[in-house]
Structure 1
Amino acid sequence: MALWKVKFDLKKRVKLAQMLWLMYWVSVIAGVLVFILGLFFKIELRKRSELMDNKESHFVPNLLIVVGLLVCGISAFGGKICYDSLDLPKFARWKTIINPFLICCLLFNTILFFTALLCFTMRIPLQYTLADGLKNGMKFYKDTDVPGRCYMKRTLDLMQIEFRCCGNNNYKDWFEIQWISNRYLDFSSKEVKDRISSNVDGQFLLDGVPFSCCNPSSPRPCIHYQVTNNSAHYSYDYHTEELNIWTRGCREAIVSYYGGLMNTIGLLVLLVTALEVAVIVGLQYVKTSLSTLVNPEDPESESEGWILEKTIKETFTDIISKIKAMGKGNRVEEEVEVQAVTTVS
């Protein structure tokens, strides 16, 4: 017994074909959006590649770009089939292609679904790659005269201004590294000597942060030196007063930004997947309704369409039987070959 059998006349078949044609072109537009968003995400990652610990994070945007192009191609091809289904002579040339095309579409939908899952889980690898990348980048902040690192200060400052963040986990991360270059330190100063000698690694550490950590919305002039020294500033208590520097860590801010972007792309890919499933079902109805015409020479005659010729259980059983038959056929061929070799020897 066929699964979800529906009776069709010419009017119903025409409406179904037209609706599928429209849905396919909506899918093409969605594919273009997926491609553009994948390209945008790749550019965004490239902009901050210096702060990434590895290049593995580009796998997802590359996959989105490829998937977007495939959605456009597959949907345009499906739209052409639906358009030709309105003319029986034209549709006849597609009959041998539709079944392989539907199988390819099912496999592609599986890829789309896993692509959406990768988008939703992209936040996890980003957290790890940014944790080490930002930590190393902050160490190179002072190396403005070292080839290959001379732009790190500019990159970090622009990042902290754009994302309104400070440090890796928070602003106190700057207290643990020397972010001021030695060329700008007066080594004849007692304060500088004391700070360097009091550190095991001989670094110049201070309770200060770069200017890019300053919050421009604060009514008070920015205090980014001696942040934890209450006596150094008038009417100031860093424990109780809201600091006029960003307290949010840059890793959290960037992951939140990229995570929101990837969730949006993941939802779009899921919608494309649902749309592709719907048009596959519709195309199957078009194919079966045109192959069961009461009078194949009369396009106005009635017909029946279905999703599966048999029930799900029967279809699954048939597939298993065919796989087993193929396995037995391969074994028989191997035994014949072995016997032939034995006979010759």
Structure 2
Amino acid sequence: MAVLKVKFTKNKRDKLAQVLWILNWISVVTGIILFSLGLFLKIEIGSRNELMANREVHSVPNMLIAVGVIACGINFLGGKICYDCSDTNKFHRWKLFMLPYIICTFFFTFCILVGALMCYTMRNELEESLYQGLKEALKFYKDTDTPGRCFLKRTIDMLQIEFQCCGNNGFRDWFEIQWISIRYLDMSNKEVQDRLKSNVDGKYLMDGVPFSCCNINSPRPCIQNQLTNNSAHYNYDFQSKELNVWQKGCRKALLEYYTQIMQSIGLTVLIIWLFELSVLTGVRYLQTAMENVLRQGDPDSESDGWLLENSFVETARSNLNIIKNLGKSNQINAISGNEDPNMDVPTADYGPDNVPPKQIPTASQPELKVLYEH
């Protein structure tokens, strides 16, 4: 029994073809939207590429860009097909092409769904990439004279000012790294020498943060050095909530920023997937209805359209049998191709005495001819 069978008159078939022609052109626009969303996300991630360790985070924008380009091509072709399907004579040109086109469009629509789901499942991968990338970037904050790293200080400072964050997980991350270059330290100063000697790795560590960590909403001037020393500053308690540096880590701030963008993009892509699925369903109905018209031979007659000619179980069983038969035929071809014509055939074990049975003599061709004449 056909699945979701609908009866179409000639007028309904013509209207369906016209509506699908318009929807396919709208789908071309949705393809451009997918491409634009992927390009926007790629630019946003690329703008802070040096703060990310894992390059696989580009998989989502790359997929959206590819799906957007393919959507424009497929829907442009679908518009041409639906426009010609309103005429029975023109449908003959597309009859053999319709089923492969629908199958390809189905897999393409599935890729759109995968792209939407990837926007929601990428959070953990993005968080790990930001954690490792920011951790390395903070170490190179002081290397303003090193080629390839000279702009990291500016990048991190602008990041902390824009997103109102400090460090990777928090402001204490700056206590664990040397973020002041040696060229700006007075090596003859005893305090500097003591700090360098007190550390196993010979680093200049201190409980201070860069200026970009300062909270602009703090009522008092920014305190960057000796953040954990209450006696070094008047009326100061570093454990209070009025600490004048940003409390949020930059990893969390960037993660929230990108998550919000990807959730919005994922919702848009999901809506586009539902729209593409409805267009694909309409094209399937139009294909089956027009094929039934050709079988009947009367272009003005009514015809049935359906999604599947048989039930889901029967369709799955028939497709499984086709796959099994293809596998068996490949095995037979492989076996027949590997046979050696010169290979010796093993003799059978005829009995305890190993004596072959008596063979019936066959008549020669002249003898058969004589017998036939008599």
Fold match (TM-score > 0.5)? yes
Aligned length: 344
- For residues 10 and 43 of structure 1, the distance between their equivalents in structure 2, rounded to whole angstroms, comes to 49
Q: Which amino acid aligns with 1:6?
A: V
Moved more, 224-233 or 156-165: 224-233
> Paired residue for 1:243?
243
> Which segments of 5 or more consecutive residues in structure 1 lack a partner in the other structure?
none
Q: CA deviation at 1:17?
A: 2.2
Residues 110-129 of structure 1 correspond to what in structure 2 (within 5 A)? 110-129=110-129
> Paired residue for 1:141?
141
Q: Which amino acid aligns with 1:153?
A: K
- For residues 171 and 187 of structure 2, the distance between their equivalents in structure 1, rounded to whole angstroms, comes to 26
Moved more, 65-74 or 293-302: 293-302
Moved more, 16-25 or 129-138: 16-25
SS at match of 1:93: helix
> Paired residue for 1:199?
199
Contact 1:135–1:168 under 8 Å retained in 2: yes
> Paired residue for 2:354?
none
Q: CA deviation at 1:198?
A: 2.4
> Paired residue for 2:169?
169
Change (3 A) 1:190 1:338: closer
The reply on whether 1:342 has 2:347 as its aligned counterpart is no
Contact 2:218–2:242 under 8 Å retained in 1: no
- For residues 66 and 295 of structure 2, the distance between their equivalents in structure 1, rounded to whole angstroms, comes to 43
Q: CA deviation at 1:217?
A: 2.5
SS at match of 1:315: helix
Q: CA deviation at 1:320?
A: 1.9
> Paired residue for 1:211?
211
Q: Which amino acid aligns with 1:130?
A: L
Residues 163-312 of structure 1 correspond to what in structure 2 (within 5 A)? 163-293=163-293, 299-312=299-312
SS at match of 2:341: helix
Q: Which amino acid aligns with 2:287?
A: K
- For residues 313 and 148 of structure 2, the distance between their equivalents in structure 1, rounded to whole angstroms, comes to 63
Residues 99-110 of structure 1 correspond to what in structure 2 (within 5 A)? 99-110=99-110
What is the TM-score normalised by the length of structure 2?
Answer: 0.85
Q: Deviations over 1:296-344 (max 9, x none)?
A: 67544322111111111111121122223323333444454455x4268
What is the TM-score normalised by the length of structure 1?
Answer: 0.92
> Which segments of 5 or more consecutive residues in structure 2 lack a partner in the other structure?
345-374
- For residues 141 and 30 of structure 2, the distance between their equivalents in structure 1, rounded to whole angstroms, comes to 42
Contact 1:209–1:224 under 8 Å retained in 2: yes
Q: Deviations over 1:261-314 (max 9, x none)?
A: 222222223222222222221111101111222896754432211111111111
- For residues 294 and 94 of structure 1, the distance between their equivalents in structure 2, rounded to whole angstroms, comes to 13
> Paired residue for 1:33?
33
Q: Which amino acid aligns with 1:312?
A: F
Moved more, 162-171 or 208-217: 208-217
- For residues 297 and 35 of structure 1, the distance between their equivalents in structure 2, rounded to whole angstroms, comes to 43
Q: Which amino acid aligns with 2:321?
A: S
Residues 41-120 of structure 1 correspond to what in structure 2 (within 5 A)? 41-120=41-120
Moved more, 127-136 or 298-307: 298-307
Change (3 A) 1:240 1:328: closer
- For residues 9 and 3 of structure 1, the distance between their equivalents in structure 2, rounded to whole angstroms, comes to 19
**Alpha-carbon RMSD:** 2.2
Moved more, 160-169 or 254-263: 254-263
Q: Which amino acid aligns with 2:56?
A: E
Contact 1:295–1:301 under 8 Å retained in 2: no
SS at match of 1:94: helix
Q: Which amino acid aligns with 1:80?
A: K
Moved more, 287-296 or 39-48: 287-296
- For residues 12 and 246 of structure 1, the distance between their equivalents in structure 2, rounded to whole angstroms, comes to 65
Change (3 A) 1:10 1:219: farther
Structure whose alpha-carbon radius of gyration is higher: 2
Percent same amino acid among aligned pairs? 53
